[in-house]
Amino acid sequence: MEQRKTRSRKALLPSALFTFATLALLAGIPSASSDVIVSTAIASLSKKLNPFILSDSSQSVPGTMAAQHQPPSFSSVVFPVYGNVYPLGLYYVSMNIGNPPKPYFLDADTGSDVTWLQCNAPCVSCSKVPHPLYSPVKNRLVSCDDPLCVAVHESTNHEGGCERPSQCDYEIEYQDHGSSVGVLVADVFALPLTNKSLGHSSLAFGCGYDQQGGPSNGPQGRSDTDGVLGLGSGKVSILSQLRELGVCRNVVGHCLSRQHSGFLFFGDDVVPSKGVTWAPMVSGVAQHKYYSSGPASVFLGKQLLSEKQTIVFDSGSSYTYFTNQLYQSLISVIRRDASKTSLKEAPEEKALPMCWKGAKPFSSVLELSKYFGSLILGFANGGYRAGMEIPPENYFIVTKQGNACLGILNANDVGLKDMNLVGDVSMQDVLMVYDNEKQRIGWARVQGCHRLTKFGNSPPP
């Protein structure tokens, strides 16, 4: 395939703040019955769903996917999730792609639409990844006039067009200045269904032959993942493609465990009928389809820190980011509260900018509840009101040295300006649901996200 010779400047996607220091904020209003409800909803799925198999031998690209066999009804797909906030700094899924299928680790990112793998096309700039580079098949290229090519260009603010009519070039740049350049291809994805059968769908994704920084280059040029799984609501996202195929409804959710595990799902069969706090989804945030429930008032305990703050939920970010004004207000109150305790600031700790040490090293983040109060995000969208509680264990980490570090960072440092970003650290042990069908976002605190990984068919790494 023809490779682009120039790299034009594109608008940044604040989604994937992929610096391995990042994983952040989200917690739901506690519900004593929510864990039972989730488990009950999952347990009943095997009695409700029918298996389906989509042809994996068709050579059609996504523009002609309507010709493939349709499943008899909507199903749901569940993948185990692996990773942690600290020290790894990301959560990822293992997906089997190709024919025959091969495993790849993908960074789960609700803040971007485009899924891509580091790719031997040949590769201009790739890091050392867990698996052999993906090798594309020439006759599986997505053409420049395919609707999905138009969608990927809209999603990434791509202005350079295509080098050739027969291929769709893309370039995506993330807020941490990491980037991927490549072409759009189609291949078969193996989908572990909630009834434990395995479906196959031909889906379009990026074959990235030139990666710079960000998720591609970790320490010593190594990466913990083979690419990115874009879970946004744009037409090019894997989720939207599966909806177009009739595989599952346009609903995605995740539950990220503190125990280095969790689960990710497509479809609405996993969503519990009770125990979830819902807020309307607001579209068009920051000229991109980020998952947001609109403006919120932010409290620490009973103290109001700020009002009318735009909140975005992003699983591609390790930590939470607050705008400069909100961040400074938060730091001021936390320092005031810490000064009334035995805690001392620990400038020698380099894991994150703001850290404290106790009389003895902390062994668990759960110990911090005696020193700090919960953050509250109060959403008010029209006549609709919803609250999200974020306890200290969802905005602090405990380092290898036993110090407590604030998992909320200054958004100005990464160019987010007037947008607050809730990352993985605040979504741990919280069931998050992004319902694009009903245009709503839901959350529920559960007792352990690791309990549902058994419903995915992908083996652990």
Catalytic residues: 109, 314
Rounded CA gap, 231 and 294, in Å?
19
Contact 83, 260 (CB under 8 A): yes
- Angle made by CA atoms 109, 412, 283, in degrees to the nearest 5: 45
Length of the chain, in residues: 461
What count of other Cβ atoms lies within 10 Å of the Cβ of residue 26?
27
Look at strands 262-266 and 251-256 and give their pairing: antiparallel
Strand, helix or coil for residue 62: helix
Burial (CB count <10 Å: 0-12, 13-18, 19+), residue 43 = exposed
Rounded to whole angstroms, what are the CA distances from 367 to 96, 173, 391? 39, 38, 11
Q: What are 26's two structure tokens?
A: 């989200």
Q: Which of 245, 329, 211, 265 is nearest to 55 (CA)?
A: 245
Please, is 295 exposed, middle or buried when counting C-beta atoms within 10 Å of its C-beta (0-12, 13-18, 19+)? middle
* Whole-angstrom distance, CA of residue 54 vs CA of residue 72: 11
36 Cβ contact list (under 8 Å, min separation 6): none
Could you give phi then psi for residue 454, rounded to 5 degrees? -65, -15
**CA pair distance 301, 372, nearest whole angstrom:** 8
State the residue for tokens 């599986």: 140
HSE, CB side, 13 Å, CA atoms: give it for residue 400: 5
Residue 453: DSSP 8-state: G
Q: Specify the DSSP class assigned to residue 99.
A: T
Contacts of 53 (CB under 8 A, 6+ apart): 69, 197, 198, 199, 200
Rg for the chain, CA atoms, rounded: 21
216 secondary structure, DSSP code: G
**Among 108, 104, 112, 110, which Cα is nearest to 83's?**
108
CA proximity to 415, closest of 324, 306, 296:
324
